[in-house]
Amino acid sequence: MPAPADINTILNAVYQYAIDNNGNLPGTITTSATAICQTGTTDCTGLIDLTVLTASEKYLVSLPKDPLITATTGTASYTIIKSANGRVTVAAPLAESAVITVTR
């Protein structure tokens, strides 16, 4: 089951990246809620690629993923979206009881 701590970990890394890059979020984050690509996946077509967060392990060693995901490629079962005003929301739409979201 996805954990709220994983969502916060992703958000913290995104905002640390922004702090280090003059307030700019990773360029792959869009204004449409889109699934995040797992660390190590070579083809992130249709997914949000956040390898800028794991490059050289600067912000994260790897992106968290739902522990129930056994595939080694594809989605990490989290989505990310930015609003027109630059607020970022990470969600775990596959959570057992309800969708878990955090916005900053």
Where along the chain do its domains lie?
A: 4-92
In this model, does residue 80 exceed pLDDT 90? yes
Question: Would you state the pLDDT for residue 99?
Answer: 75
Neighbours of 78 (CB within 10 A): 25
Pairing of strands 88-92, 34-37: unpaired
Q: Residue 27 gets which letter from DSSP?
A: T
In this model, does residue 1 exceed pLDDT 60? no
What is the C-alpha to C-alpha distance for residues 66 and 75, in angstroms, rounded to an integer?
A: 9
Question: Would you state the pLDDT for residue 19?
Answer: 97
Quick one: average pLDDT of 59-74? 81
Quick one: average pLDDT of 2-12? 88
pLDDT higher at 45 or 66: 45
Whether this prediction's pTM lies above 0.85 is answered by yes
Which phi and psi angles does 66 have, rounded to 5°?
-60, 125
Average pLDDT for the chain: 88
Question: Would you state the pLDDT for residue 2?
Answer: 59
